Structure 1
Amino acid sequence: MSYFADLILPLPLEKRFTYSLTAEEANFIQPGMRLAVPFGKNRIYTGIVADIHQNPPEVYEAKPIHQILDEKALLTPEQLSFWKWIASYYLCSEGDVMRAALPGAFLLESESIVKLSKDARPDASELNDDEYLVIEALQRQSSMKIQEVEQLLDKKKVLPVINKLVMKDLVDLNQEIYEQFKPKEVRYVKLNPAYEAETEMHQLLDDLSRAPKQREVLLSYFSITAKSKKALKTKKLLQESGASAGVLKSLIDKGIFEEFYEVTDRINFKGEISNHEINLNKIQQQAFEEIQQNFQEDKVCLLHGVTSSGKTEIYIKLIEEALNKGKQALYLLPEIALTTQLIKRLQNYFGEKVLVYHSKYSLNERVEIYRHVLENSEKGKIVIGARSCIFLPFQDLGLVVVDEEHESTFKQFDPAPRYHARDSAVVLANLFKANIILGSATPSIESYFNAEHNKYALVELSRRYGNVMMPEVEVVDIKTAHRKKKMTGHFSERLLEEIKESLKEEEQVILFQNRRGFSPIMECNTCGHSPQCPNCDVSLTFHSHNNQLRCHYCGYHIAMQQQCMACGSSEITTKGFGTEQVETELKALFPKHNIGRMDQDTTRGKYAYEKIIEAFEAQETDILIGTQMLTKGLDFRKVSLVGIMNADNLLNFPDFRAHERSFQLMLQVAGRSGRTKKRGKVLIQTYNPYHQIIQQVSTGSYIEMYKEQLEDRYQYQYPPYFRLIRLTLKCRDYSMTNEAADWLARALENVFDRYILGPEFPPVARIRNEYYKNILIKIPQKQSLGKTKKVVHRILTSFRAIGAYRSVRVVVNVDPQ
Structure 2
Amino acid sequence: MHYIDVILPIPIPKLFTYSITEAEVGFLKPGMRVSVPFGKSKIYTALVHSVHTNEPYAYEAKEIHQILDDKPVITQKQLEHWQWISEYYMCTLGDVMRAALPNAFILESETLITSNKDGVFEESDLEDDEFLIFEALQHQSSLKILDIISILDKKNVLPVIKRLLDKNVISVDEEIFEKYKPKLVRYVKLQSQFSSNQGLQDLLEELSRAPKQREVIMTLFSLSAQTKKPIKVSELTEKSKASSAIIKALIDKDILEEYFIQTDRIEYSGEENNPIKKLSEAQTIAFQEIKNSFETHNITLLHGVTSSGKTEIYVKLIEDILAQNKQVLYLLPEIALTTQLVNRLQDYFGEKVAVFHSKYSSQERVEVWNQVLNKSSKAQIILGARSSVLLPFQDLGLVIIDEEHESSYKQFDPAPRYHARDAAIVLAHLFKCKSLLGSATPSVESYHNTRINKYALVELTTRYNNVLMPDIELVDIKDKQKRKRMTGHFSDRLIEEMTETLKEGHQVILFQNRRGFSPIVECNTCGVSPQCPNCDVSLTYHQYKNQLRCHYCGYHAVMIKACEACGSLDLDNKGFGTQQVEDEVKELFPKCNVARMDLDTTRGKYGYEKVITALEQQEIDILVGTQMLTKGLDFRHVKLVGIMNADNMLNFPDFRAHERSFQLMVQVSGRAGRTEERGKVLIQTYNPFHRILQQVTTNSYLEMFEEQMDERRNFKYPPIYRLIKITLKHRDYNKVNMAADWYAKSLRLVFKTDVLGPEFPPVARIRNQFIKHIIVKIPPKQSVAKTKETIIKINNSFLAVKDFRAVRVILNVDSY
* Range of TM-score over shorter length: over 0.9
Counterparts of residues 385-784 of structure 1 (less than 5 Å): 385-784=384-783
- Aligned partners of 2:531 and 2:196: how far apart in 1? 79
- Deviations along 1:693-747, one digit per CA (max 9) or x if unpaired, are 0011011100000000110111111001100000111100011111110110111
- Deviations along 1:146-202, one digit per CA (max 9) or x if unpaired, are 111111111211111111222222211111110000000000111111112333323
- Aligned partners of 1:419 and 1:20: how far apart in 2? 33
- Aligned partners of 1:167 and 1:244: how far apart in 2? 55
- Matched to 2:758, the amino acid is P
Is the alpha carbon distance of 1:342 and 1:790 closer, same or farther for their aligned partners in structure 2, counting shifts above 3 Å?
A: same
- Aligned partners of 1:269 and 1:213: how far apart in 2? 34
- Matched to 2:384, the amino acid is G
- Aligned partners of 1:526 and 1:274: how far apart in 2? 67
Which residue of 1 is the match for residue 288 of structure 2?
Answer: 289
- Matched to 1:569, the amino acid is S
1:484 is displaced (CA, Å) by: 0.6
Tell me, what secondary structure is at the counterpart of 2:545? coil
Structure 1 stretches of 4+ with a deviation exceeding 4 A read none
- Aligned partners of 2:800 and 2:481: how far apart in 1? 59
Residue 119 (str. 1) matches residue 122 (str. 2): no
- Matched to 2:629, the amino acid is L
- Aligned partners of 2:655 and 2:113: how far apart in 1? 57
- Deviations along 1:445-473, one digit per CA (max 9) or x if unpaired, are 01101110011111111111111111111
1:24 is displaced (CA, Å) by: 1.4
- Matched to 2:540, the amino acid is T
1:567 is displaced (CA, Å) by: 1.5
- Aligned partners of 2:218 and 2:325: how far apart in 1? 48
- Aligned partners of 1:290 and 1:34: how far apart in 2? 45
- Matched to 1:430, the amino acid is H
Identity of aligned residues (%): 61
1:293 is displaced (CA, Å) by: 1.4
Which residue of 2 is the match for residue 158 of structure 1?
Answer: 157
- Deviations along 1:132-155, one digit per CA (max 9) or x if unpaired, are 111111122211111111111112
Which residue of 2 is the match for residue 7 of structure 1?
Answer: 6
Tell me, what secondary structure is at the counterpart of 2:319? helix
- Aligned partners of 1:302 and 1:122: how far apart in 2? 76
- Aligned partners of 2:395 and 2:227: how far apart in 1? 39
- Matched to 2:410, the amino acid is K
Counterparts of residues 101-180 of structure 1 (less than 5 Å): 101-180=100-179
Which residue of 2 is the match for residue 804 of structure 1?
Answer: 803
- Aligned partners of 1:442 and 1:685: how far apart in 2? 21
1:208 is displaced (CA, Å) by: 2.3
1:214 is displaced (CA, Å) by: 2.4
Tell me, what secondary structure is at the counterpart of 2:382? strand
Which residue of 2 is the match for residue 55 of structure 1?
Answer: 54
- Matched to 2:530, the amino acid is P
Residue 182 (str. 1) matches residue 181 (str. 2): yes
- Deviations along 1:502-533, one digit per CA (max 9) or x if unpaired, are 00110111110000000001111111111111
1:274 is displaced (CA, Å) by: 4.4
- Aligned partners of 2:381 and 2:228: how far apart in 1? 35
Higher deviation after alignment, 412-421 or 548-557: 548-557
1:427 is displaced (CA, Å) by: 0.5
- Aligned partners of 1:298 and 1:723: how far apart in 2? 23
8 Å CA contact retained: 2:375, 2:394 = yes
Gaps of 5+ in 2: none
Tell me, what secondary structure is at the counterpart of 1:316? helix
Counterparts of residues 181-330 of structure 1 (less than 5 Å): 181-330=180-329
1:581 is displaced (CA, Å) by: 0.4
1:638 is displaced (CA, Å) by: 1.1
Tell me, what secondary structure is at the counterpart of 1:379? helix
- Deviations along 1:275-302, one digit per CA (max 9) or x if unpaired, are 2132112221111111111212242111
Is the alpha carbon distance of 1:409 and 1:690 closer, same or farther for their aligned partners in structure 2, counting shifts above 3 Å?
A: same
- Matched to 2:560, the amino acid is Q
8 Å CA contact retained: 2:297, 2:455 = no
- Matched to 2:419, the amino acid is H
1:229 is displaced (CA, Å) by: 4.3
- Deviations along 1:780-801, one digit per CA (max 9) or x if unpaired, are 0100000000000000001111
8 Å CA contact retained: 2:306, 2:463 = yes
- Aligned partners of 1:211 and 1:283: how far apart in 2? 70
- Aligned partners of 1:468 and 1:240: how far apart in 2? 50
- Aligned partners of 2:783 and 2:229: how far apart in 1? 67
1:205 is displaced (CA, Å) by: 2.3
8 Å CA contact retained: 2:25, 2:51 = yes
Tell me, what secondary structure is at the counterpart of 1:715? helix
Gaps of 5+ in 1: none
- Deviations along 1:34-66, one digit per CA (max 9) or x if unpaired, are 011110111110111111111111101111111
- Matched to 1:101, the amino acid is A
Alignment RMSD, CA only? 1.1
- Deviations along 1:534-568, one digit per CA (max 9) or x if unpaired, are 11111111111111111111111111122222212
Tell me, what secondary structure is at the counterpart of 1:807? coil
- Matched to 1:203, the amino acid is D
- Aligned partners of 1:229 and 1:467: how far apart in 2? 51
8 Å CA contact retained: 2:485, 2:492 = yes
- Aligned partners of 2:275 and 2:595: how far apart in 1? 32
8 Å CA contact retained: 2:298, 2:433 = no
Higher deviation after alignment, 146-155 or 615-624: 146-155
- Matched to 1:591, the amino acid is P
- Deviations along 1:615-667, one digit per CA (max 9) or x if unpaired, are 10111111111100000101111111111000000001000000000000000
- Aligned partners of 2:773 and 2:215: how far apart in 1? 73
8 Å CA contact retained: 2:121, 2:168 = no
1:91 is displaced (CA, Å) by: 0.5
- Aligned partners of 1:284 and 1:313: how far apart in 2? 8
- Aligned partners of 2:255 and 2:530: how far apart in 1? 70
- Aligned partners of 1:40 and 1:581: how far apart in 2? 53
- Matched to 1:676, the amino acid is T
- Matched to 1:483, the amino acid is K
- Deviations along 1:55-80, one digit per CA (max 9) or x if unpaired, are 11110111111111110011100000
- Aligned partners of 2:320 and 2:571: how far apart in 1? 62
8 Å CA contact retained: 2:7, 2:48 = yes
- Deviations along 1:730-765, one digit per CA (max 9) or x if unpaired, are 100011111110110111111111110000000100
- Matched to 2:468, the amino acid is M
Tell me, what secondary structure is at the counterpart of 1:37? strand
- Aligned partners of 1:229 and 1:82: how far apart in 2? 46
